[in-house]
């Protein structure tokens, strides 16, 4: 990770720095684009299919269930706008969700669909409160795998089971967990999932993933349709509206080749490091680093916003700074080469698996000072 030459980088819950393999892949693509033009476009297209296969394998999906999308919002919106809603239907989500997992559902109000926000106390997600909010007109339960502000991590299988018990579908905003924690979409029963690659997957911005369980592909009204959506594909003189059978039908037109090239390299690196549906040594290391930070913050007397407990732990840790405003602390940390963010009323750190105990010690020393 070239970033380590300058920064103790604790801001992966915002935007990740690129690892060397992604940088090299993008640099190579730039040379190809400048020197070869579209004469090697087929090679780039094959790289997109490699990305689709790598992403599918990471979550135990089929490649045909993966669409390459610009970001999490785009993935959520394709599902929100594609489902066959009826006036009086509702969506259940959490009151502390990131806006990307609220606004696309609120945008359905003009079609008579209600978005219900479940209160979250102290950052802890209460499944009973979610279930109490569901009724016979609930069509979707949509939650984040990891809360962006406090780092509370849910068990997606528990939420999916709860939703299915009431005849609803389950959508997972996976952006704060994918790339670190193991996930099996088949075993967990997740119906839909979206995640941009620019956080824990260590990819560029503008290159993300959408998972649609195969049985739901024909349930959604196709949106963003273009030449890339149909079987005829590159046969531009043949106008025949026959959609491709997989999630690729939602990709529409030209793709972000350079962004997806970088994401492909990053996911291959994470795969080689052991991130898989059944286990992830990267997750073990992220939790080890986060636990270390939590212990030292507590010793320092810094109040934690994050309920860092058991299997709900993640790589996100947010703490309060009683003596100075968080923005001032964040700036002072940045001046010392420590990257963090202001979220949840305090300072949020989100170290990846390459962070070191020495970097955590630097953070603690700065806070003590």
Assign a CATH topology to domain 22-272.
3.40.640
pLDDT greater than 90 at residue 216: yes
pTM, entire model: 0.96
Span 31-37, average pLDDT = 96
pLDDT at 264: 98
Long-range contacts of range 50-56, CB-CB < 8 Å, 24 or more positions apart?
Answer: 50/264, 51/260, 51/263, 51/264, 51/267, 52/248, 54/264, 54/267, 54/268, 54/271, 55/209, 55/267
Please state the domain extents for the chain. 2-17+277-368, 22-272
Report the C-alpha gap between 368 and 323 in whole angstroms.
11
pLDDT greater than 90 at residue 222: no
Look up the CATH number of domain 2-17+277-368.
3.90.1150.10
pLDDT in tens, 67-91: 999 999 999 999 999 999 999 999 9
pLDDT greater than 90 at residue 237: no
pLDDT at 269: 98
Minimal CA–CA distance to 263: which of 55, 79, 77, 86? 55
Whether 22-272 and 2-17+277-368 are alike in CATH topology: the answer is no
Least confident among 148-152, 234-238, 332-336: 234-238
pLDDT greater than 90 at residue 345: yes
Report the C-alpha gap between 201 and 266 in whole angstroms.
7
């Amino acid at each position: 990770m070239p970033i380590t030459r300058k920064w103790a980088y604790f801001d992966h819950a915002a935007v990740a720095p690129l690892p060397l393999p992604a940088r090299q892949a993008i640099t190579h693509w730039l040379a190809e684009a400048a020197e070869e033009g579209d004469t090697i476009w087929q090679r780039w297209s094959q790289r997109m299919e490699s990305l689709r296969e790598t992403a599918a394998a990471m979550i135990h999906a089929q490649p045909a269930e993966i669409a390459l999308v610009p970001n999490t919002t785009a993935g959520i919106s394709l599902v929100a706008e594609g489902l066959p809603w009826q006036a009086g239907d509702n969506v259940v989500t959490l009151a502390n969700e990131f806006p990307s997992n609220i606004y696309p559902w609120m945008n359905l109000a003009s079609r008579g669909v209600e978005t219900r926000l479940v209160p979250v106390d102290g950052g802890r997600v209460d499944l009973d409160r979610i279930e109490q909010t569901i009724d016979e007109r609930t069509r979707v339960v949509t939650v984040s795998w990891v809360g962006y502000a406090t780092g509370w991590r849910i068990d997606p299988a528990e939420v999916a089971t709860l939703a299915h018990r009431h005849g609803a579908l389950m959508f997972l905003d996976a952006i704060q967990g994918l790339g670190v924690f193991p996930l099996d979409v088949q075993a967990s029963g997740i119906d839909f999932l979206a995640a941009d690659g620019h956080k824990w997957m260590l990819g560029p911005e503008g290159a993300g993933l959408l998972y649609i369980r195969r049985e739901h592909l024909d349930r959604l009204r196709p949106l963003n349709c273009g030449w890339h959506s149909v079987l005829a594909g590159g046969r531009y003189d043949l106008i025949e509206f026959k959609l491709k059978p997989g999630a690729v039908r939602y990709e529409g037109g030209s793709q972000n080749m350079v962004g997806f090239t970088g994401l492909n390299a990053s996911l291959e690196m994470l795969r080689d490091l052991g991130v898989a549906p059944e286990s992830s040594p990267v997750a073990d290391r992220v939790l080890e680093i986060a636990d270390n930070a939590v212990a030292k913050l507590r010793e320092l007397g810094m109040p934690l916003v994050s309920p860092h407990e058991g299997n709900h732990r993640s790589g996100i840790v947010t703490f309060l700074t009683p003596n100075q405003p968080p923005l001032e602390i964040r700036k002072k940390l940045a001046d010392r080469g420590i990257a963090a963010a202001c979220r949840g009323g305090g300072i949020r750190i989100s170290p990846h698996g390459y962070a070191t105990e020495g970097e955590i010690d630097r953070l603690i020393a700065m806070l003590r000072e």
